[in-house]
């Protein structure tokens, strides 16, 4: 019988861009990852974004994967899945300098974490304050907030801590077809769970307005969270209404 193993959620900073009303983007990443205690193949790590209004977006964030037994061996023989974070991203205000092609935006993202990972119990919550900056075709987003996750099983406490991260997209050509991607994030738990510091760097190709393709390398610097990974991404957009 194929068993299931719990995925320790990795905090990935988000941006402060909103899909147009009725437009959805499905951001998927596939590839091998060395987690905190085991290897896995992400099948995929996904983010589903749906524009509701000009400044309100519905987001779903989770992962499905196949992984190992949790003893550090390079074995892929079990199902693995992350809990599901459902949230609303809300824009609070935008300040634009058209002469310098700069724009500063403020927002919030908040919602429950549903316990769909193996043995997970109780509903958690995650909330972020977002600060976004656009300079011409370059984007920067600062994330600050907190998380209280579902328990990993009976008798275990709920991991809770502070979140901080930055998301960067730098244009490599005038048309914005090629871009360099970078992220840095950290989780400081006030519970006994191991802290996380993670960096990601990659490149993105956007051959069409409604399609992005990317490759990203991941490196974890503390005992908590993922240790390394290579992820191939595809992000199509569709208009629903």
Residue-by-residue pLDDT tens, the chain, 241 positions? 333 444 456 788 999 899 999 999 999 999 999 988 888 999 889 999 999 999 999 999 999 988 877 666 677 777 778 999 999 999 999 998 877 789 999 999 999 999 988 888 999 999 999 999 999 889 999 999 999 999 877 777 889 999 999 999 999 998 889 999 999 999 999 998 899 999 999 999 999 999 999 999 999 999 888 999 999 999 999 999 9
Task: Give tens-digit pLDDT for 137-193.
Answer: 899 999 999 999 998 777 778 899 999 999 999 999 988 899 999 999 999 999 988
pTM score of the predicted model: 0.91
What value, to the nearest 5°, has the Cα angle with vertex 200 and ends 132 and 116? 85
pLDDT at site 163: 97
What value, to the nearest 5°, has the Cα angle with vertex 31 and ends 112 and 134? 60
Provide the mean pLDDT of the chain. Answer: 90
Strands (E), the chain: 4-6, 23-34, 39-51, 56-67, 78-81, 84-97, 102-114, 124-135, 138-148, 160-171, 178-189, 196-208, 211-220, 228-239
Relative to beta strand 211-220, strand 56-67 is: unpaired
What CATH architecture is 4-239?
Answer: Beta Barrel (2.40)
**Distance in angstroms (rounded) separating the CA atoms of residues 159 and 150:** 7
pLDDT at site 5: 42
């Amino acid at each position: 019988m194929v068993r299931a193993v719990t995925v320790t959620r990795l905090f990935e900073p988000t941006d402060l861009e909103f899909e147009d009303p009725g437009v959805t983007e499905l951001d998927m990443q596939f590839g091998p990852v060395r987690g905190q205690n085991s290897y896995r193949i992400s099948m995929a790590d996904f983010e589903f974004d749906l524009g509701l209004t000009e400044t309100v977006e519905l987001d779903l964030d989770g992962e499905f994967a196949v992984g190992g037994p949790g003893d550090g061996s390079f074995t892929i023989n079990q199902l693995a899945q992350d809990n599901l974070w459902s949230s609303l991203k809300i824009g609070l205000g935008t300040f634009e300098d058209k002469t310098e092609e700069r724009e500063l935006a403020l927002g919030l993202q908040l919602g429950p974490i549903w316990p769909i990972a193996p043995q997970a119990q109780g509903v958690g919550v995650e909330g972020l304050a977002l600060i976004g900056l656009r300079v011409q075709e370059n984007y920067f987003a600062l994330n600050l907030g907190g998380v209280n996750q579902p328990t990993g099983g009976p008798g275990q406490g709920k991991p809770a801590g502070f979140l901080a991260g930055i998301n960067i997209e730098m244009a490599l050509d005038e048309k914005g077809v090629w871009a360099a991607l970078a992220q840095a994030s950290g989780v400081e738990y006030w519970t006994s769970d191991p802290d996380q510091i993670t960096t990601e760097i990659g490149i993105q190709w956007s051959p069409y307005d409604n399609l992005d393709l990317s490759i990203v390398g991941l490196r974890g610097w503390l005992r908590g969270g993922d240790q390394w990974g290579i992820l191939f991404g595809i992000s199509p957009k569709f208009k629903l209404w």
